[in-house]
Amino acid sequence: MTQIPAQIVYKVLLIGDTRVGKSCLLKYENPPIPYTPNLGIDLSLKRINLKNEQEVLLQCWDLAGAETFRSIQYTYFSRCKACLVMFDVTSLSSFNNVTGWIKKISDYGDQSNPLLYLVGSKIDLQDERVISSERAGIFADQLGLRYIEVSSFKKHNVKLIWQLVAEEIFNREEH
């Protein structure tokens, strides 16, 4: 019987308003078209090979943005190592709601002090864009967040963000 090598597992949350692209970011290989919302919580596993050849597993929890599911979400905030706070670059309201999502992390999270990323999604929709890269980047800097833009549809920066998250958590944990 072969033994499965021990893995390092990190819990990562994806939060933000409904329809900002959380599920598509997780399932970028086969984005769900047409849009199908998850029912509260969805879990995906991402196996990442780090630059030092260590393999880690990201346990990615996609928390539905709909108000209906918010009461069950708070239990998932504890012990997360990173949190991707997502907004849609074509939606001013999703951008304006980012601070509320960040407040939920501090209100309901434990003392794990997760790495926080601001993720602007749907950058392939340039003609509909209402939040510029510069504006989002300045906002992220003011809040002490890392900022990255993605397009699940065009697969832009999607692999990069998972690699970045895994590397930064691993380095922070001092393995």
**Beta-sheet strand order (sheet of 115-121):** 41-49, 55-63, 8-16, 82-88, 115-121, 146-149
- The Cα 124–Cα 24 span in angstroms is 13
Supply the pLDDT for residue 26: 84
User: Running DSSP on this structure, what letter comes out for residue 156?
Assistant: B
User: Each residue of 122-142: pLDDT tens digit?
Assistant: 999 999 999 999 999 999 999
Supply the pLDDT for residue 23: 86
Look at the alpha carbons of 3, 6, 11, 12 in this order and tell me if their dihedral is positive or negative: negative
> Topology of 8-173 in CATH?
Rossmann fold (3.40.50)
Percent of the chain surpassing pLDDT 70: 80
User: Each residue of 75-92: pLDDT tens digit?
Assistant: 667 788 999 999 999 999
Supply the pLDDT for residue 108: 75
User: Each residue of 33-70: pLDDT tens digit?
Assistant: 444 555 557 778 889 999 998 899 999 988 865 454 44
pTM for this model (two decimals): 0.85
Give yes or no for residue 115 having a pLDDT over 60: yes
pLDDT higher at 174 or 88? 88
